[in-house]
Amino acid sequence: MNVTWLRSDTLEVGVIAHGARIVAVRAPDRHGQWGDIALGLADEDAYRRDRDYLGACVGRFANRIAGGRFTLDGTEYRIPLNEPATALHGGTGGFESVPWERAEPRDGSVTLRRTSPDGENGFPGTLQVTVTYTVDGPRLRIEHEARTDAPTVVNLTNHAYWNLAGAGSVEDHEVTLAASQFLPVDEHLIPSGPPAPVADTPFDLRSSQRIGARLREGHPQLRATRGYDHTYVIDGDPGADGLRHAVRVVEPRSGRTLELRTDQPGVQFYTGNMLDGSLVLRDGSAARQGDAFCLEPQAFPDSPNRPDFPSTVLRPGEVYRSRSALRFGTTG
């Protein structure tokens, strides 16, 4: 597998061109022992077969579009469904399933590019896309950029699966999410209304809580998604760098920590509910529900059909940008 490695004294990140994927992230625990903290597959053929988006850049539209349909400037567009009633992550054959052009790495960064032609998967406009991964000390920065020659919709994110212990369940990971609202969803995981308060629900993660603490409470939203699989609306104002603090995760045994800052309005918190044992990981183990979590900074799901949500429309002459920074460390 042709992996580009980005390294610092405290972080190693491997990237491949297929799907512009992060295939490995390695970091030390509180005792200085290095370990893999992102789920990965054995080889490139396994990534070509992957249907769980491991480490991929997903698009053109991350998350779900209801019915695979939206109307833009009076014209209806149809995206191939890859779920019974939705187009997920751009529909069948999205950005995760195609090769990208990889530039030579420099200064701890690597940039991958592709041209998504007009009409690809039903989306209008020819889209020029880049994703840049940068390792800077304990930080991994992810920057997406896109330009179009015709009006279109864009929503890009990275779909890494994290397990800060390196193996086993993530239910004992402690998570804090800076969000006083989330988006409830219907049976198809499409937002069913406006943002709702997290107060007095299992979705209130504003103070540190074990991922598994309330997972089995029987809340209708947890039943609908078989765990956490919801967009959190990030609170607060951006800092000088334009990013807002969104998430902190602590794994108490290893002491590893992950902190996420982003310029996106939401973060999809997903607890690997669709992992059913059929995915064989790099070490030969089977990935099952609860073995990893995802933090996907992005716009809101089904935004092309929801004028009350922040717009995801991109027009000629404009530049789509999405920036996130993940900082890895340890507790004492």
**What does the pLDDT look like over 151-192, one tens digit per residue?**
999 999 999 999 999 999 999 999 999 999 999 999 999 999
Tell me which residue of 7, 41, 36 sits closest to 21, measured CA to CA: 41
Kindly report the pTM of this predicted structure. Answer: 0.97
Coil/strand/helix, residue 49: helix
Instruction: For residue 237, count other CB atoms closer than 10 A to its CB.
Output: 5
Per-residue pLDDT band at 258 (split at 50, 70, 90): very high
The residue extents of the domains of the chain are: 4-330
* Residue 151 near residue 312, CB atoms below 8 Å: no
Q: Is the dihedral of CA 183, 186, 188, 194 positive or negative?
A: negative
Of these residues, 89, 159, 173, 230, which one is catalytic? 159
Averaged confidence pLDDT in the chain: 97
Reported as a single tens digit per residue, the pLDDT across 267-278 is: 999 999 999 999
pLDDT mean over 289-310: 98
Count of all residues that appear for the chain in the document = 332
The CA distance from 261 to 284, in Å, is 33
Task: Output the six-digit token pair for 90.
Answer: 């751009």
* Residue 9 near residue 24, CB atoms below 8 Å: no
The CA distance from 65 to 264, in Å, is 18
* Residue 66 near residue 86, CB atoms below 8 Å: yes
Query: In this structure, which CATH number among 3.40.50.2300, 2.40.30.10, 2.70.98.10, 3.30.465.10 belongs to the domain 4-330?
Result: 2.70.98.10
Q: Is the dihedral of CA 330, 108, 178, 288 positive or negative?
A: negative
Active site residue 296: yes
Strands 266-270 and 21-28: unpaired
Of these residues, 96, 174, 251, 296, which one is catalytic? 296
Instruction: For residue 168, count other CB atoms closer than 10 A to its CB.
Output: 12
Reported as a single tens digit per residue, the pLDDT across 70-116 is: 999 999 999 999 999 999 999 999 999 999 999 999 999 999 999 99
Q: Is the dihedral of CA 308, 314, 319, 325 positive or negative?
A: positive
pLDDT mean over 49-53: 95
Burial 100-118 (b: 16+ CB within 10 A, else e): bebeebeebebbbbbebee
Active site residue 217: no
